[in-house]
Each structure stands twice: as C-alpha cells, then as structure tokens.
Amino acid sequence: MIQINNIRKKYSDGTEALRGINAEMGKRITSVIGRNGAGKTTLMRILSTQLEPSSGEVIIDGLDVMKDTSEVRKKICSIPQEATPLGILTPMEHITLYLLARKFQYREARREAMNALDSLGILEYRDKPADTLSGGTKRKIFVAMAIASNADTVFLDEPTTGLDPVSRMEVWSSIRKLDGNLIVTTHYMEEAEELSQEVFMVESGLIIEKGEVGELLSRFNGKVRAESHSPMDGGIRISNTYVKYIPEPDAAEYIRMGCTVKKVTLDDVFILRGVSLES
Amino acid sequence: MNPKFSLYFAWYYGFRVIGRGPSYVIASIATPLTLLFLVYVLSSGTLVQYAVIGGFVTLVAANGLTSASDAAFMRLQAKIQDLFVATSISSIDYMIGLTLSFLLFTVPGLALYSVLAVLYHLFTPLRIAIMIGVLIMLTLSTSAISFIIAGSIKHIRNIWGITGILSIIMTILPPTFYPYTFLPKYILYALAISPATPAAIILQGTFGLSPEFYTMIFVLLGETAIYLSLAKYFTRWREK
C-alpha cells in the first residue's frame, strides 16, 4: 500500500512539476497515465527514493520514503524511464549485478537471473552483449531485473516507450508475470486500460481523475465516440478533429455522415477531463 | 557497505570489458607512452627516468579522470545510476565499483611501466610500497574529481570536452614528465590542485630523482579527503 500525502515538487529552475498529489495506491497493478511533462516521472522518482520532494509525505507499507529510505529501498524495485543497458555487458551480467546490489548471493543471483530470462523467452540471448540485441529485448532485460528482484513493490516508468507494437505487447505480457504490487506509468491509454486494476490520471502536476477502469468508463453510460474533421453540433474540438460522445444506436447515422465511430477508452476520460480543466 | 557488489561491478565492467573492447587499455597507455618517447628523444635519454615514474602517475590519474564520462553516461543517458539508487547499495559502493573497474584498465599499462622501471633499476621494495600508496591516493582523488564532474553536469555532451581538457591540465601540465624543480614553488602550489602534482613530486623524491618535498604528502592526503567528501555530495544518490 502506498499512501501519498500532498506531495509537491518545485525544481530549482522554478518548474512546478507536482502541485499537491494525494493518492492511495493499493491494487496489484496501478497505472499512472498522462501526457508528456504531466509529472508522472517526477512522481515515480519521488516514490522510488530517487528524488526529494519539496514537501509532502510518502508512506510505502508503513515506511516513510524520506525517513526510512534504506528500508524502503530493500522492498522496492524501480526501473527508470529510458533506462538503457550498457552495450558491452550481457543480459545475464546486468541482472546478476542488479541482484547483487539487492544483496542476493552470487549463485542465487545467477539462478534468479536465468529463471527471469527464461520466463521472458530471452534465455538464448543471456550471454550476448546488449548492443547486439533488439530494442524489445533490451527493454526486457530491465523487466527481467524487476521479475528477478522479488520486490514487494515494483515501479516501471514508461516501460514501452519507443517500442514497436509487437515489442510492446511482449513487454506487457512479461510485466503481467511480475509478483508484488506494480506501479506503471504510460501514455498508452489502451495499455493501462487492459492491464490495470486502478488508474491515476496526472495532468499539470495534479491527479485529475482516479478509479478502476470499469468505473471510469461507466461514466459514458453506453456511449461511443464519433470523430470527424468537420465541425459537429455539440462536438469537442481537439486540434483539427471534432469529437462527440453519442448513444451507440446512433452510430450508423454518424457513420453515414462520414464520421469515424469508436468504442470509448481511457483516452476519452482523459479528453473530457482535460477539456473541462481548460474550460 | 556492499563490497561484494563493488568487486563484481569491477569484474563485469572492468575485467570483462577489457576482453571485449581492448581499445580502452590501448587508449589509456597511448598518451603516457607517447610522452615517454618524446621525453626520451628531446632529452637524449637524460630525463627518461622522470618519464617512467611520470608514466605511472599519468596513467592512473588520466584513467581516474576519464571515468567521469562513464559516470555521467550512467547517470544521464543510461539511467543505470537511478536503477542502483533504489537498491541496498550506497553511493560509496557504486563509486568504488566504477573506480575499481577503471583501475583494471590501467593494469596492462602499469605492468608495462613496471618492466621499464626494472630495466632502469628504479625499483626497491620500499619505493614500490610508497608508489603503491601514492597511486591508491591518486586513484581515489582523481576518481572523486570525476564523480564531482559527472554529478554536476546537466548534459552528456559536455562531459567529453570537460574530461579532455581536464586530462591535459591535470596530468600533462603537472611535473609528471620533467623534474618539479624546473618550476617555481608558487606554480607548484597552483598546479597542486591536480592530485597528479603532489603524487609526481612525492615519487620523484622517493625515487631519488629530485629533492624530497614533504609538504606534498599532506597536500595529497588533504585534497584526497576533500575531493572524496565533495564526490559523496555531488553523486546525488537522491537528487534535490
């Protein structure tokens, strides 16, 4: 269980990245979603003891992140955004070294590393230098570290950014195999929707929406999304596209009018919330 | 403390990397060997003993300073430092691991200079013992400087230029390849900002090449302590 109490972060250049975050994260997989620059990475870095907040408090399983830092670090695993393997080292060496940093014995570290690589289907690459591997496989090295860590709480910051769709699916399939509670940031809403039990939407350093996926989507009450490049009566303009939420039975009529009709997703929760914030 | 982590870090990132990319080793000995050759030619062999002793100093100091590029790369680009922050290790374990791995790159060069030192009859057990002590201090102080730089910069591109400039200022300008007595004392004290200066002066005295200058022992000890303290602060285990 993670308890976040009024976390604020103002960087030395004056940027206010977090403006008072309050949350309770207790589900097995929690997604933190939001646009680039929304404050997701700052929040993750504070939760995982890498960054000091300007004010506020974070409690993980009863331990204060600022005061009980060494104890917290034993319980968590954090994979930073855009973490890149060292090209000259192999996957096996990366994971073993990471586990040694977590105080595993050498043999135990090797065994856990082998198991994790095997569970991700990349055991055959274990002794190849990382710079000879594909982007997806490189990313899986870090997921393997998280799997092998046996940490109570795992933080994954945008684990699929920059990957092709197949690699993204592979990485997400691997993430499902993780034990413990998982906090993931992403800006791919469909991924959050498919995987998470709970979602937090961050925008401009604030949580603007939270809840279970089904609960958030139920607000649309059976509606679907109609999109058009031409103005629509009652539509919301987003750049050069107009979006309108319509009852499902009306979909055929909108399609005849040249609109594209789609099922609502978390994108739509975000769009509606974002628009209401602007207004 | 997690010395096991530091040793394995050195093993993986030092020893194994040497086998996979020997260019690191060649790069580390290229400058001191080139300068040794120049000193030999320009002094008709009279100053070659200075250059052999200076070679040890330059090799270790230059390696310590160039480790800044890897430390900065791991912090800013690869985010490996962040990965290790959220584990049981401390910034000291991490720094020792990276320092030891870079020290391994110098081993072939140190072996080569040891052969030269034997050929020029420079070694005695006492001199070897003092040299080991001085080189350990030099490794600690120059690596500390590299962590200070790596922890201070904001953009990875800056590091290549900074380490290049520092390597020259901190290893070539100090009296590593010529007698320190060539320089007035005030310049020696100014150059002592580089740990290579007191290290070279101490070793020139130890090896009987120049008069002893005991003050430099305290200078080396003092600046090692200062640079290490600053490095611990600048490594930013939890950023502000």
The SS3 call for residue A245 is: strand
The number of C-alpha atoms within 13 Å of A178 and in the hemisphere containing its C-beta is 32
Chain A interface test: which of B15, B76, B82 (most A C-beta within 10 Å): B82
Report residue B54 as tokens: 């200076």
Selection from B81, B99, B84 nearest residue A99 by Cα: B84
pLDDT value of residue A195 = 85
Report residue B228 as tokens: 């290490």
Q: Which domain holds residue B131?
A: 3-234
Q: How many domains does chain B have?
A: 1
Pick the more confident residue, B21 or A103.
A103
Whole-complex ipTM: 0.85
Read off the pLDDT of residues A52-82 as tens digits, 9 standing for 90 and up: 999 999 999 999 999 999 999 999 999 998 8
Consecutive H or E run containing A242: strand A241-247
pLDDT score of A278 more than 50:
no
Give B82's contacts in chain A (Cβ within 8 Å): 45, 50, 78, 80, 83
- Per the listing, tokens 């097995």 go with A28
Selection from A262, A184, A259, A176 nearest residue A217 by Cα: A262
Give B89's contacts in chain A (Cβ within 8 Å): 101
Cβ–Cβ gap A77/B86 under 8 Å? yes
Measured CA to CA, the distance from residue B12 to residue A87 in angstroms comes to: 12
Q: Is residue B239 part of a domain?
A: no
A2-216 is classed in which CATH architecture?
Answer: 3-Layer(aba) Sandwich (3.40)
- What's the mean per-residue pLDDT of chain B? 91
Q: How far is CA A264 from CA A195, A213, A215, in A?
A: 16, 12, 13
pLDDT score of B5 more than 50:
yes
Read off the pLDDT of residues A89-146 as tens digits, 9 standing for 90 and up: 999 999 999 999 999 999 999 999 999 999 888 999 999 999 999 888 898 899 899 9
Question: How many angstroms separate the CA of residue B8 from the nearest CA in chain A?
Answer: 7
Q: Is residue B240 part of a domain?
A: no
Q: The whole model's pTM is what?
A: 0.86
Measured CA to CA, the distance from residue B9 to residue B6 in angstroms comes to: 5
Measured CA to CA, the distance from residue A208 to residue B62 in angstroms comes to: 52
pLDDT value of residue A277 = 45
State whether residue B95 sits within 8 Å of chain A by CB.
no
Cβ–Cβ gap B83/A145 under 8 Å? yes
Q: Is residue B134 part of a domain?
A: yes
What is the dihedral sign for C-alpha A34, A38, A40, A43?
A: negative
State whether residue A73 sits within 8 Å of chain B by CB.
yes
Cβ–Cβ gap B17/A89 under 8 Å? yes
Read off the pLDDT of residues B47-90 as tens digits, 9 standing for 90 and up: 999 999 999 999 999 988 988 999 999 999 999 999 999 999 99
Return the number of other C-beta atoms located less than 10 Å from residue B78's C-beta: 19
Give B77's contacts in chain A (Cβ within 8 Å): 84
Read off the pLDDT of residues A151-202 as tens digits, 9 standing for 90 and up: 999 999 988 877 778 878 877 887 887 878 999 998 788 888 888 899 999 9
For residues A224-248, average pLDDT: 88
State whether residue B74 sits within 8 Å of chain A by CB.
yes
Report residue B218 as tokens: 């305290």
